[in-house]
């Protein structure tokens, strides 16, 4: 038992060979799962009555409605559902709502220009390539491709035909370019507005660190996106979007139509444990306040830039009440930057084991939450955020001690 504990503390158990082996095993399992899923489907409907790509149906249907000149109908649950079922010859399907701002219709229109299965394939391949390229740029090491591709959130994201690859690519790309190309970083942050819940803490980090060019570029990008959507679809599309937000908040979030075990937030955990809506919001607000204060401190400090980014990535996931397990793709960015710092400066106790736990968590979070009510994804996010703050404080303390030693000498 002592040996196991010491191994977890040092992280020596996670050798390069094991890391490659675990990744290859998971990739092989992913391939078998997807092959079996598709082979067992009937005209792209699986054995559970869900379409291949599940959530992608809402994007494709919204694009089809736009081609028909009926984009605003995507924000009506009744009309959107009819459009989704029309894609599969009127077969009854679970409802996959369209909750995105109007400028995301640009993606929907592009994928809907292709047959459904090819639109799904193009969407996943293009966004996966962007994600892998960003991860390789964060950690330019031979094993990065393999470990990043085998990250279990990849399986979840592909299974749902979701946008986690794009979110991670935009977030990670923005952080990579923040120092070298602040305007480009701002453009990427502006594009991230298609998932606005993940951008609420970014302005705090940018303001306290005085990154005004990035702020300007992000603001201009959002303004252009809004203006183009107005020009292309008229003001009515935005009214339809705002009208639909009540459905999104009450049915999807507050009543948990998606399933509490799939949502990785404090709000969802509280609701899963039968807390009232008011109590759940209070818990989420309290966590947000702590995140905002600690991020402001960290980004205003002289802590390592890699740790600042890792903290911002994790905090962006923790800050919103609506974060799905496929959104944990952003966790790959946090793991990548934290690992980069550790590889340069050395790892401290339990950091390697914690990073490994964060890497595997998306594979288990939904299963464990559903079976036991324990929000594994949330717990791992909180632990990783605490570890990043602790590492930043320890590094600063070491620098202070070293400086005092030099002065005394």
Task: Give per-residue pLDDT as tens, 72-115.
Answer: 999 999 999 999 999 998 788 899 999 999 999 999 999 999 99
Q: What per-residue confidence (pLDDT) applies to 157?
A: 96
User: What does the buried/exposed string (b/e) look like for 31-47 if buried means 16 or more CB atoms within 10 Å of the residue's CB?
Assistant: eeeeeeeeeeeeebbee
Q: What per-residue confidence (pLDDT) applies to 408?
A: 62
In a domain, 358, yes or no: yes
Place of tokens 């030693």: 405
Burial of residue 2, with CB atoms counted within 10 A of its CB: 0-12 exposed, 13-18 middle, 19 or more buried: exposed
In a domain, 209, yes or no: no
Instruction: Give dist(CA 265, CA 261) in Å, integer.
Output: 10
Q: Please tell me the pTM assigned to this model.
A: 0.95
Sign of the four-CA dihedral 273, 282, 358, 331: positive
Q: CB atoms < 10 A from the CB of 277, how many?
A: 14
- pLDDT 10s digit of each residue in the chain, 409 long? 667 788 888 888 998 899 999 999 999 999 999 999 999 998 899 988 999 999 999 999 999 999 999 999 999 999 999 999 999 987 888 999 999 999 999 999 999 999 999 999 999 999 999 999 999 999 999 899 999 999 999 999 999 999 999 999 999 999 999 999 999 999 999 999 999 999 999 999 999 999 999 999 999 999 999 999 999 998 899 999 999 988 888 888 888 888 899 999 999 999 999 999 999 999 999 999 999 999 999 999 999 999 999 999 999 999 999 999 999 999 999 999 999 999 999 999 999 999 999 999 999 999 999 999 999 999 999 999 999 999 999 988 877 666 666 666 5
Instruction: Give dist(CA 139, CA 271) in Å, integer.
Output: 38
Question: Helix, strand or coil for residue 42?
Answer: strand
In a domain, 393, yes or no: yes
In a domain, 278, yes or no: yes
Q: CB atoms < 10 A from the CB of 234, how many?
A: 13
User: What does the buried/exposed string (b/e) look like for 376-392 if buried means 16 or more CB atoms within 10 Å of the residue's CB?
Assistant: bbbbbbebbbebbbebb
In a domain, 323, yes or no: yes
Q: What per-residue confidence (pLDDT) applies to 5?
A: 81
Packing angle of the helix pair 152-160, 329-345 (nearest 10 deg): 160
**Contacts of 44 by beta carbon, 8 Å cutoff, 6+ apart:** 51, 52, 88, 116, 117
Determine contact, residues 299/327, Cβ cutoff 8 Å: no
Determine contact, residues 376/368, Cβ cutoff 8 Å: yes
Q: What per-residue confidence (pLDDT) applies to 154?
A: 97
In a domain, 280, yes or no: yes
Torsion of CA 32, 37, 42, 46, to 10 degrees: 170
In a domain, 284, yes or no: yes
Give residue 364's domain range: 254-399
Counting the structural domains of the chain, the total is 1
Determine contact, residues 127/157, Cβ cutoff 8 Å: no
For 177-204, the pLDDT digits (tens) are 999 999 999 999 999 999 999 999 999 9
Instruction: Give dist(CA 83, CA 407) in Å, integer.
Output: 72
Q: What per-residue confidence (pLDDT) applies to 1?
A: 65
**Contacts of 251 by beta carbon, 8 Å cutoff, 6+ apart:** 257
Determine contact, residues 384/358, Cβ cutoff 8 Å: yes
Q: Checking phi first, is residue 265 left (phi over 0); if not, alpha (psi -120 to 50) or beta?
A: beta
Residue 42 bridge partners (DSSP): 45
Burial of residue 409, with CB atoms counted within 10 A of its CB: 0-12 exposed, 13-18 middle, 19 or more buried: exposed
Instruction: Give dist(CA 125, CA 298) in Å, integer.
Output: 36
Contacts 24+ apart (CB under 8 A), 7-12: 8/350, 8/353, 9/349, 9/350, 9/353, 10/349, 10/352, 11/347, 11/350, 11/351, 11/352, 11/353, 11/356
Can you spell out the DSSP letters for 265-297? SHHHHHHHTT--HHHHHHHHHHHHHHHHHHHHH
In a domain, 322, yes or no: yes
Determine contact, residues 49/42, Cβ cutoff 8 Å: no
Determine contact, residues 171/130, Cβ cutoff 8 Å: no
Determine contact, residues 63/108, Cβ cutoff 8 Å: yes
């Amino acid at each position: 038992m002592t040996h196991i504990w010491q191994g977890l503390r040092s992280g020596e158990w996670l050798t390069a060979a094991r890391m490659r082996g675990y990744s290859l095993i998971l990739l092989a399992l992913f391939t078998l799962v997807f092959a079996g899923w598709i082979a067992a489907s009937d005209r792209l409907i699986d054995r559970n009555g869900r379409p291949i790509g599940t959530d992608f149906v809402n994007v494709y249907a919204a694009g089809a409605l736009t081609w028909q000149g009926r984009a605003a109908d995507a924000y009506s649950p009744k009309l959107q559902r009819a459009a989704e079922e029309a894609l599969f010859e009127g077969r009854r399907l679970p409802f996959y709502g369209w909750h995105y701002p109007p400028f995301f219709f640009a993606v929907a229109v592009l994928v809907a220009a292709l047959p459904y299965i090819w639109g799904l394939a193009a969407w996943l391949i293009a966004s996966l390539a962007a994600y892998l390229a960003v991860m390789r740029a964060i950690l330019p090491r031979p094993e990065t491709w393999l470990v990043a591709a085998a990250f279990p959130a990849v399986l979840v994201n592909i299974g749902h035909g979701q946008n986690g690859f794009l979110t991670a690519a935009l977030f990670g790309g923005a952080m990579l370019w923040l120092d070298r190309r602040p305007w480009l970083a701002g453009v990427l942050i502006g594009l991230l507005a298609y998932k606005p819940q993940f951008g609420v803490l970014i302005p705090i980090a940018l303001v306290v660190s005085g990154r005004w060019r990035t702020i300007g570029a992000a603001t201009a990008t959002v303004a252009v996106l809004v203006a183009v959507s107005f020009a292309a679809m008229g003001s009515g599309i935005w009214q339809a979007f705002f009208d639909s937000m009540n459905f999104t908040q009450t049915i999807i979030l507050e009543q948990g139509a998606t399933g509490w075990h799939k949502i990785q937030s404090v709000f969802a955990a509280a609701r899963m444990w039968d807390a009232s809506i008011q109590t759940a919001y209070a818990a989420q607000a309290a966590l947000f306040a702590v995140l905002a204060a600690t991020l402001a401190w960290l980004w205003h400090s002289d802590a390592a830039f890699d740790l600042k980014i890792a903290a911002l990535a994790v905090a962006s996931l923790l800050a919103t009440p609506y974060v799905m397990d496929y959104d944990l793709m952003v966790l790959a960015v946090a793991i990548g930057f934290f690992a980069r710092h550790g590889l340069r400066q050395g790892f401290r106790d339990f950091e390697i084991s914690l990073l490994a736990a964060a890497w595997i968590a998306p594979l288990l979070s939904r299963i464990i939450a559903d079976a036991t009510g324990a929000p594994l994804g949330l717990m791992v996010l909180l632990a990783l955020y605490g570890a990043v703050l602790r590492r930043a404080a320890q590094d600063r303390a070491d620098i202070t001690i070293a400086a005092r030693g030099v002065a005394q000498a």
